[in-house]
A and B are shown apart, each in its own frame.
Chain A
Amino acid sequence: MEERNLRNDLNVAGMSQTAGGNFHRVSIDGMAKVNGNLDCTSMNVNGTLKMHGALSSESATINGMCTLNGPLISSRVRVDGLTTINGDLRSPELEVNGKCTVRGRVDGERIDIGGVIDIEGDVQCESLNVQGNIKISGFLNAGTVEIRLHTSSSAREIGGERIDIRRKEQTGFWKSIGLGGTPSFKSSLIEGDEIVLEDTEADIVRGSKVHIGRGCNIRLVEYSGELEVDPDAKVGSSQRI
């Protein structure tokens, strides 16, 4: 492959349709449709982009609307607008402040969610930090999971080292729109070394140090170290293993 910085830039201002290809910097300020794969150093979308193919870029920033029909591979992704990815998302750093839908799996190192993310596949990362709304239909495997509940979130299963899911008192924006229901988290299985939960509904929780806080409803807790249960929580049965 030729050096990326020797390539041409692709600038779309207005409306345009292109076939895709290899570029240095891509910037979409109007409406664009890309009919193939794109390989570039940086991708900047401020308008609307519709892509039929894979996008691989060193950094991708999406401020407008973007639909990708293919995987997105990048070393840095930031979504501030509305993005739908009909494929996998692989990026060591992912930041979502808008709304993002991924119909494949997500692989990353650091994932920060300030907005809304909906993932149909599995998620694998070192740290997941959520200050918004997350829905994972697959399995979440992360080193540390920190979720501050604003609305109703869920993950089918969680496995990791530190899992911390707590309520965040609603103020300002989230309270004023009043969408998404009361803060709650749903999962069928949560496994980890250190687990702190609030407002969580789960079938099984397994860990060595477990804290079940207010508003939880857990059917079975299995722990090897210590267990603390808040008087405001419901635990079906607990068992030391």
Chain B
Amino acid sequence: MTDDLISKKELLDLTGISYGQLYRWKRKNLIPEEWFIRKSSYTGQETFFPKQQILLRIDKILNMKDGLSLDELADVFSPTLGEVEMSAQELLERNIVSNISLELLKEAGRERPLYALEQIMMLYVLDKLLMSGDITRQEGTLLIDVMSEHYYRFTGKPSELVLIRKMGVPSFMLVTAGTELYFDNGVKVVLRQSMGTFMEELKLKLG
């Protein structure tokens, strides 16, 4: 977690939104409760937000607001899984995953006729990481394992995906968002990304 915080006043200044909007979005669950960090400052209690996350989120809300209602937006940002089912063919056609990820899934023996959102999410993450060159194919297999075995445990909760390597040996982890992790010296954290961000991207693609 970065300690980069922004105060409420600065945030409103910077984005030009009003108190009313901010509180309305909070009520609609567009901004998660845990982002409101209360700290005492010289003027008394002040509210702070994780800077990068809140700016990104507000930017998204402002840009998508016209096309979607607030409730639909809340759906996009919520970490819960909706009801979607798609075949491999559809996923390919809609450009959500590529053939490589599907092949990898086949090798791992987890091929299905229809994929639910949870599995589409897994494929999407796999595909994104493979394509960006962050992980190797072998690591992709590990990712498939950890995601299909454990991702369901985080239903409705924010989670992060962590990839570490020690002496070239990779290992994937799914952790609760914001958890502090400490390793011995030989460990390198290759990747740490919030699953929520992936889910938002995916939901926009699916929607």
Contact = CB atoms under 8 A, between A and B. Distances in A.
Interface stretch (A29-37, A130-138, A184-192): A184-192
Q: Which of B23, B27, B43 has the most CB of A within 10 A?
A: B23
Given A188-B44, A188-B45, A207 B19 contact: yes
A204 B23 contact: no
A160 B9 contact: no
B157 interface: no
Contacts of B45: 188-189
Interface string A191-211: 111000000000110111000
A64 interface: no
A58 interface: no
Contacts of A193: 18-20
B27 A124 contact: yes
A204 B43 contact: yes
Contact of A159 (B13, B23, B44): B23
Interface residues of A, number: 22
Given A141-B27, A143-B24, A161-B24, A203 B19 contact: no
B128 interface: no
A161 B43 contact: no
Contacts of A160: 19-20, 23
Interface string B9-22: 10001000011101
A139 to B, nearest CB: 9
Contacts of A159: 19, 22-23, 26
Contact of A206 (B19, B24, B26): B19
A131 to B, nearest CB: 23
Contact of B19 (A188, A191, A204): A191
A126 interface: yes
B163 to A, nearest CB: 37
A161 B23 contact: yes
B39 to A, nearest CB: 14
Interface in A9-23: none
A188 B43 CA distance: 12
A126 B44 contact: no
Contacts of B27: 124-126, 141, 143
Interface string A98-140: 0000000000000000000000000011100000000000000
Nearest to B33: A122
Contacts of A208: 18-19
Nearest to A206: B19
A55 B73 CA distance: 31
A1 interface: no
Contacts of A204: 43-44
Residue of A159, A189, A203 ringed by the most chain B CB atoms within 10 A: A159
Interface string B46-61: 0000000000000000
A123 to B, nearest CB: 11
Contact of B20 (A124, A161, A188, A241): A161
Contacts of A143: 20, 23-24, 27
A141 B19 contact: no
A233 interface: no
Of B20, B24, B44, most A-chain CB atoms within 10 Å: B20
A51 B9 CA distance: 45
Contacts of A235: none
B23 A241 contact: no
A192 B19 CA distance: 5
A184 B118 CA distance: 53
Interface of B: 9, 13, 18-20, 22-24, 26-27, 43-45
8 contacts: A160-B19, A160-B23, A188-B45, A192-B23, A193-B19, A204-B43, A220-B43, A241-B13
A-B pairs, 3 with minimum CB distance: A161-B20, A193-B20, A159-B23
